[in-house]
Chain A
Amino acid sequence: MPLTREQICQRAAQELKDGFIVNLGIGMPTLVANYVPAGMDVWLQSENGLLGMGPFPEDAAVDAELINAGKQTITARPGASFFSSSDSFGMIRGGHIDLCILGAMEVSQEGDLANWMVPGKMVKGMGGAMDLVAGVKRVVVTMEHTSKNGSSKVVPACTLPLTGKRCVDMIITELCVLEMDPEMDPSRRRFVLKQVAPGVTVDEVKAKTAAEIIIPANVGIVGG
C-alpha cells in the first residue's frame, strides 16, 4: 500500500532530532509538526520572523500580528523570539537551520529542485524557497511520486525552472524514501533507494522513476 499523506508526514518526522531548528513549508510539510515524537524538543522557524512557533491559537487568543509564513494565525511557544525578515533569512542563509521540509514539482537525479514556477501559468513567486534550499543544512522533499498524468516527478533533469541546484538531500513519496549519498563523488550524485512503502516493490519504484537511482542489495520498509 502506498503511504497516505499522513504517513508521508510521519516518515518525514523521523528525520527530526532533539533540539533541531526546523522550517516547514506550506501545505503537506506543515503537517509534519503533528508527528514530532513525544519527548523530542523541536523549534519551528517561520521565515516571516518567528523562532518557536506553537500550535494554532484558541479562538479568543487569535492575534492578527502573530502569523506564520502561510499567513495563518498561530501562537508562539515559551522561549520564542520575533525578528525581522533580514535576521530571519540571515538565520536561513547562514546555515543556522538544521532541516527544512518542502514540496516539489520535480527533483532531478542530482538533487536539483523545481517547485516555484510553471512556464505559461500564473507565476506567484518563489517566496523564501530559494533561500531555504540554498542555506538550510538538510533539505527534505515530501511529494507525490508521479504527477497527475502518471509521469515521474523524480527525473533525469528538471524541465521546470529551478528553485535550487543540487540541494535536495532526501525525497519522501507515497512509494519510497530516496536519500542522496553524501559520500558519492560530487560529479556523480545519485539518490539511493533507502526504503519502500509496505507492499510496494522495488520494481514498482523503478518503473515509476525516470531518474537514475541506486538500488542497494537491501532496501528497507518504511515503518519496518
Chain B
Amino acid sequence: MPNKLYKTAMDAFSDLKAKGVLRDGITVMVGGFGLCGIPEHLILALRDSGVKDLTCISNNAGVDDWGLGLLLQTRQIKKMISSYVGENANFEQQFLKGELEVEFNPQGTLAERIRAGGAGIPAFFTATGVGTLVAEKKDTRQFYKPGDGVGGKTLASANHPGKQTREYVMETGLFADLALVKAHKADEFGNLVYRKTARNFNPMMATAAHMTIAEVDQIVPIGSLDADQIHTPGAFVKRIVQTVSQKRIEQRTVAGAVAAKK
C-alpha cells in the first residue's frame, strides 16, 4: 500500500509543484465553517508555497489573521466562491477595490455543487435562488415537485391536472485541483472521522478534487476505526498529516449570556 502519511503539512506539499499539482491559477477547496474545522496547517503550507491567482472554494474566507484570511493578506487569492464572508476586513477592502473576484453561492447550493462534483454529476436542478440574482443567466426548468406523486417529471413529460409545477435552476458541479480538509481522526489508509460541527463542508470537499490532503488531530493504525463509523472512506484521501490545531473560537458564548443582537 502506498504511504499516505506525511510528517508535516510542508512535507505533504513538498513535491506537489514538481508533480504539477500545485501551481499558479489552480482551484483549491478549503473545508470549514467560519474557523470551525479548517485545515489550519495546510492553509499555512499553501500560503508558504507562494502559489498565486488561486480560486478558493470555501464557505467563508477566514478572519483577517487566520484561516484563508492569511492568503488574502498575501494576495494569493484571485477569486473566492463562498456563501458568506462577513468576518474579514481585508476581504472587504480587496473586493471594493476590484482586486478580488467573488462568486456568492447559496450555502446549500455550494454544498451540493461540491457533492455533485465529487460524485461525477455535472449539473443538477434546485429551487434555491430561483427569481434572484443567483439564477440570472442560468438555465431554468419547470418540474413537478418531488413528493407530490408525480415528482421528478418535467412539465413537458406529462399533464397532471391539479398538480403544481415549480421552477428550478440548473447549477453545476464543482471539482478542484486540490482539496484541503480537516478531520478528527484518520487511519493509515485515509479513512476519516470528523468531530461535531467541525464536519461541515469537509466530507464533500474530500471527494471533489484531484488531490485531497487531510489534516487530522490523530492518526491511528488501520483496523482501529470502527468501519461502521467512518465518514469519509480512504479512497478519497491521498495524503494525511497529523497536527496540533489552535481551534480558534470566533464567538465565545456561555450559559447566561444573551444571544448576539443584530
Instruction: Report A's interface with B, CB cutoff 8 A.
Output: 26-28, 30-31, 33-34, 46-50, 55-59, 62-74, 76, 82-86, 88-90, 92-95, 103, 112, 117, 122-131, 134-135, 161-165
Contact = CB atoms under 8 A, between A and B. Distances in A.
A27 B260 contact: yes
Contacts of A112: 131
A23 to B, nearest CB: 12
B22 interface: no
A31 B96 CA distance: 33
B112 A89 contact: yes
A131 B107 contact: yes
B104 A82 contact: no
B107 A57 contact: no
B196 A124 contact: no
B111 A65 contact: no
Contacts of B86: 124-125
12 contacts: A48-B33, A67-B251, A71-B250, A82-B194, A82-B197, A84-B200, A84-B204, A85-B110, A86-B114, A122-B95, A126-B104, A163-B132
A62 B201 contact: no
A127 to B, nearest CB: 4
B199 interface: yes
B223 to A, nearest CB: 24
B128 A93 contact: yes
A48 B111 CA distance: 11
A131 B204 contact: no
B127 A93 contact: yes
Interface size class of B (residues with CB under 8 A): 35 or more
B249 interface: yes
Interface string B176-190: 000000000000000
Given A65-B37, A84-B203, A126-B84, A31 B107 contact: no
B10 interface: no
Contact of B132 (A73, A88, A164): A164
Given A47-B107, A55-B255, A130-B106, A65 B260 contact: no
Given A59-B254, A89-B112, A122-B92, A131 B128 contact: yes
A25 B65 CA distance: 27
B126 A93 contact: yes
Interface string B85-117: 111000010011000001010111111101100
B121 to A, nearest CB: 12
A131 B109 contact: yes
B19 interface: no
Given A30-B259, A64-B35, A85-B33, 14 more contacts: A49-B199, A56-B253, A56-B254, A65-B37, A71-B33, A71-B87, A72-B260, A82-B197, A84-B200, A85-B111, A86-B108, A125-B84, A131-B107, A135-B128
Contacts of B76: none
Nearest to B251: A72
A212 to B, nearest CB: 20
B261 interface: yes
B195 interface: yes
B39 to A, nearest CB: 13
A65 B259 contact: no
Interface string B150-170: 000000000000000000000
Given A130-B134, A161-B132, A86 B204 contact: yes
B262 interface: yes
A139 B55 CA distance: 34
